[in-house]
Structure 1
Amino acid sequence: MTETHATADDRESTTDANSDTGRTRAAVGTPPPGPRGLPLIDSTLAFALDPLEFLVSIREYGDVARYEAFGREFVVVSDPGLVEEVTVARDDEFWRGEFEHEFSDLLDVEGLFFAEGERWRQQRMLLQNAFTPAQIESYADDMVEETVRLVENWSDGEVVDIREAMSTLTLRALTRSLFDLELGDARADRVRRWVHAMGAYSDNEFFGTRAVLPTWLPSRAEREYRRATADIASLVDDLVAERRRSDGEGNDLLSLLATGEYPDGSRPTAEEIADQLQLFLLAGHETTATALTYACWLLAADDADDVRDRLEREVDSVCGDRDPTFADLRDLAVTEAVGREAMRLYPPLPFLQREPHEETALVGYRIEPGTTVQLNMYGIHRDERWWAQADAFRPNRWLADDENGRSVVADPDDRPEYAYFPFGGGSRHCIGMRFAMTELKLSLATLVRRVDLERVTESIDPTPKVSLDPGPVKMRVRRS
């Protein structure tokens, strides 16, 4: 069976004469157009079977489109100006919403990513001290050293799962820098088991075909996830206790949580500390590992020879016979362009969610309270209106030459700001954005200096889980 789609007559919209983006403006108060779906399950199956294709195809209904799935109503926003409107200009009208809070319930944590209002502001002000430019600079050597440690264990001709390798790398770098500790292999394995179990469980519950089954049916993925979560909660308790016993003072994240104070003088509770650590253990390494994986895989394509050559020339010119440092970052423009392009094509979080506090409207379409507004990052990042050859890997689109003929990162003035937003936007943009981009550039440059990677896995099938999971990505190591 296939879904039925609304016709032009069903859409009840008129062209907005003031629009320069092709948006349509509805008669005030009408619901957005969208697929009618199937009886009983609406669009649940279509989304569950291929979420990314669904997000691309729904743009045929316009920049604001409605569908029903998983027993709730969604409105997909596929225009950069409207994304900016929701996240910046009208930020106070929206919150993260019940759909994302269901994911918080799945994690059984409440931290910075899920907090609202004054509680969120207090947490953000405390934690941002771990992400100042000076702090990020202090983390750089750890990021490079962990990349070198990983690569030195690879043999020429060895086939590695680059997805697992990047996860190992970014977890080690995270705990050394943000937590100021060596996690150790046994503890790191506990974190990775937790992330894998979470991915399997969230895939089943939120994006897989299980989403159409009764919730009371037993789930092996849920049992395994609950066991892994209990294990990680115990680990976090141990980490906090160890830091408090050390009487250490510092601006690393673990010290700030264990010994710091909120702006009003209160201190984080034991539960708040545990929640924040769990979230940063997850988000602080998983999304960067995902971006590095896609960057390595894209660079190894047969038609990416020119990109690889340009990247290698840059790294050789900037670093010579040494590994990169924080001071090199401003000169690693091609490296940054590769990272940006990888996140454009495969954003670690392919969509964001918001929900209106009360009834509101977007370009005339009525949005009811309880509606999940999906900001279609994946669809916007691949929209031909903003990106020529939108599905192609073209890092050069991010580059220009300065007055001295050197490559610099430059975003065209005619592209809307929110045509690219892998770190979110507005007041709730990712607190770790500088951390992630620093690690992405330094680790990628270090890898390029030391090894070449060849594809063994020729095709990937990205799936939204904890992040946009590419699945196993096997690559063969060639020593440079």
Structure 2
Amino acid sequence: MTHPEAIRQVLVDDHEQYVKGEMPNDRLGSLLGDGLFLAEGDAWQRQRRAMQPAFFREQIEGYGESVVDHTRAVTDGWDDGETVAIDEVASTLTLRVLASTLLGIDAEAERETVRRAATAITQRYDTARLGSYLPEWLPTPTNRRYRRSLSDLHDLVDREVAARRSAGGQPGDLLSMLVAASDEGAIDDDTLRGNVVTFLFAGHETTALGLTYTLYLLATQPATQRRLRDRLDATLDGEPTPADLRNLPLLAAVIDESLRLYPPVYTFFREPTADVTLRGYRVPEGSVISLPQCVVHRDERWWDDPDSFNPDRWLGETDRPEYAYFPFGGGPRHCIGMRFARLELRLAVAVLLASFRFEAVTESLSRTASANAKPTEPVVLRVRKR
């Protein structure tokens, strides 16, 4: 479904008539378990209520200093003229931020476990590989690596949960809320583990991809990069803060335009629980409905010159339908981490442009459909110190 009215009907107006369905569960169930992403009905509502306080605006804005500090740390030591694989840098950064703020985990100490798991997960779900369509129980090399890495990731999560329980006293982060929900019987330990894996992998990977694509686009458009840098210089006095972001509409527009052109999540799936009618078409119960951001975000019915990077399209009035753009989904099941991801992206870009100018070494960007839409090759940029 590529019409915004149909997308709104599925995600918002009639959302109670739809479920995630068998296909996402079959594909992602072993990875995400019965966590928030795949849960339905009362189970989903219990989990969402348990986690929601970690994503209140005041709580999110309190993470701003950590985003700035980690961004400085991962770029410390960059030399003028050095080339960097910005996708790897972005992944390191967002994992550190998420692990330290939401989960209280030392990402540096567990980097190899998470890195191996991320690589194995990407290979397992890479739709360009024939093996991604084979049953997970088949003992292919990719499947064996995936199962080993996932087992190691589960062991990591179990150790962190046990340590949190034995320490007593809860710091008020997302992991604490999940542990409390488990101790109170609202969720079981398997669901707790599934949610931690969801945030460790999906949470940091999607934001890393958003940062990668934003910096690549700015590197390919030096005039826009310079304009944004000048606006940041004129607005900021010292390190950027969440309060500063309210006075930087161009920065928000750059992020929005990047997520339009290269949405990390490239499609959503839903199944109707009864026969429905969408835009005049009868859709039988149990049909798999795809809501593809990667198509809708470049549909010339809603976007002028849809393949161009033009942040100015976000700075004026528009009569564009709301669901011509939905990188974080919509309705009650919109991404719970949306506010956190947007804050992290804007602060990281602001910090980076304060110290560096970026030039594109990678000449063209191609992506592959895995669990997310990932670059097929490293995205290499040259950094120039300001």
TM range (shorter): over 0.9
Deviation at 1:466, TM superposition (A): 2.1
SS for the counterpart of 1:279 is helix
Distance 1:323 1:249 in 2: 30
Deviation at 1:259, TM superposition (A): 2.5
Query: 2:229 aligns to what?
Result: 312
Matches within 5 A, 1:121-200: 121-184=45-108, 186-200=109-123
SS for the counterpart of 2:153 is helix
Matches within 5 A, 1:209-248: 209-210=130-131, 218-248=139-169
Count, aligned residues = 385
SS for the counterpart of 1:463 is strand
Could you tell me whether the CA contact under 8 Å between 1:130 and 1:253 is conserved in 2? yes
Query: Kindly tell me: are residues 107 and 260 of structure 1, through their superposed partners in 2, closer, same or farther at Cα, counting changes over 3 Å?
Result: closer
Question: Which string of whole-angstrom CA distances, capped at 9 and with x for unpartnered residues, describes residues 274-313 of structure 1?
Answer: 1111111012210000000000001111xx2221121001
Distance 1:223 1:98 in 2: 23
Query: 1:467 aligns to what?
Result: 372
Question: Which string of whole-angstrom CA distances, capped at 9 and with x for unpartnered residues, describes residues 375-424 of structure 1?
Answer: 12111100111111100000111114xxxxxxxxxxx3411000100000
Deviation at 1:216, TM superposition (A): 7.5
Query: 1:86 aligns to what?
Result: 10
Query: 1:49 aligns to what?
Result: none
Distance 1:462 1:355 in 2: 27
Distance 2:185 2:133 in 1: 44
SS for the counterpart of 1:389 is coil
Could you tell me whether the CA contact under 8 Å between 2:46 and 2:186 is conserved in 1? no
Query: 2:173 aligns to what?
Result: 252
Deviation at 1:219, TM superposition (A): 2.1
Could you tell me whether the CA contact under 8 Å between 1:167 and 1:286 is conserved in 2? yes
SS for the counterpart of 2:345 is helix
Could you tell me whether the CA contact under 8 Å between 1:151 and 1:450 is conserved in 2? no
Distance 2:46 2:163 in 1: 25
Distance 1:239 1:214 in 2: 31
Question: Does residue 376 of structure 1 match 2:292?
Answer: yes
Query: Kindly tell me: are residues 178 and 393 of structure 1, through their superposed partners in 2, closer, same or farther at Cα, counting changes over 3 Å?
Result: same
Q: Which runs of 5+ in 2 are unaligned?
A: none
Question: Which string of whole-angstrom CA distances, capped at 9 and with x for unpartnered residues, describes residues 194-235 of structure 1?
Answer: 1111011111xx553346668886421111111100100000
Distance 1:326 1:416 in 2: 28
SS for the counterpart of 1:452 is strand
Query: 1:333 aligns to what?
Result: 249
SS for the counterpart of 1:339 is helix
Query: 2:313 aligns to what?
Result: 397
Could you tell me whether the CA contact under 8 Å between 2:81 and 2:383 is conserved in 1? yes
Query: 2:201 aligns to what?
Result: 282
Query: 1:295 aligns to what?
Result: 214
Deviation at 1:248, TM superposition (A): 2.5
Query: 2:384 aligns to what?
Result: 478
**Paired amino acid for 2:357:** D
Higher CA-based Rg: 1
Query: Kindly tell me: are residues 364 and 198 of structure 1, through their superposed partners in 2, closer, same or farther at Cα, counting changes over 3 Å?
Result: same
**Paired amino acid for 1:154:** W
SS for the counterpart of 1:191 is helix
Question: Which string of whole-angstrom CA distances, capped at 9 and with x for unpartnered residues, describes residues 102-122 of structure 1?
Answer: 123241622000000000001
**Paired amino acid for 1:232:** L
Could you tell me whether the CA contact under 8 Å between 2:266 and 2:292 is conserved in 1? yes
**Paired amino acid for 2:285:** P
Query: Kindly tell me: are residues 207 and 249 of structure 1, through their superposed partners in 2, closer, same or farther at Cα, counting changes over 3 Å?
Result: same
Deviation at 1:360, TM superposition (A): 2.1
SS for the counterpart of 2:271 is strand
SS for the counterpart of 2:381 is strand
Query: 1:421 aligns to what?
Result: 326
Could you tell me whether the CA contact under 8 Å between 1:244 and 1:258 is conserved in 2? yes
Could you tell me whether the CA contact under 8 Å between 2:260 and 2:327 is conserved in 1? yes
**Paired amino acid for 2:14:** R
Could you tell me whether the CA contact under 8 Å between 2:94 and 2:205 is conserved in 1? yes
Could you tell me whether the CA contact under 8 Å between 1:171 and 1:281 is conserved in 2? yes
Question: Does residue 364 of structure 1 match 2:280?
Answer: yes
Distance 1:352 1:79 in 2: 14
**Paired amino acid for 1:234:** D
Query: Kindly tell me: are residues 478 and 136 of structure 1, through their superposed partners in 2, closer, same or farther at Cα, counting changes over 3 Å?
Result: same
Could you tell me whether the CA contact under 8 Å between 1:355 and 1:372 is conserved in 2? yes
SS for the counterpart of 1:175 is helix
Could you tell me whether the CA contact under 8 Å between 1:141 and 1:325 is conserved in 2? yes
**Paired amino acid for 2:368:** T
Distance 1:179 1:212 in 2: 33
* TM-score (structure 1 length as normaliser): 0.77
Question: Does residue 117 of structure 1 match 2:34?
Answer: no
Could you tell me whether the CA contact under 8 Å between 2:124 and 2:132 is conserved in 1? no
Deviation at 1:338, TM superposition (A): 0.8
Question: Which string of whole-angstrom CA distances, capped at 9 and with x for unpartnered residues, describes residues 132-169 of structure 1?
Answer: 01110111100110000011132222211100110000
Q: 1:201 aligns with which of 104, 107, 124?
A: 124
Query: Kindly tell me: are residues 117 and 216 of structure 1, through their superposed partners in 2, closer, same or farther at Cα, counting changes over 3 Å?
Result: closer
Q: 1:103 aligns with which of 13, 20, 27?
A: 27
Question: Which string of whole-angstrom CA distances, capped at 9 and with x for unpartnered residues, describes residues 234-290 of structure 1?
Answer: 00011111111221223210111122479xx53432222111111110122100000
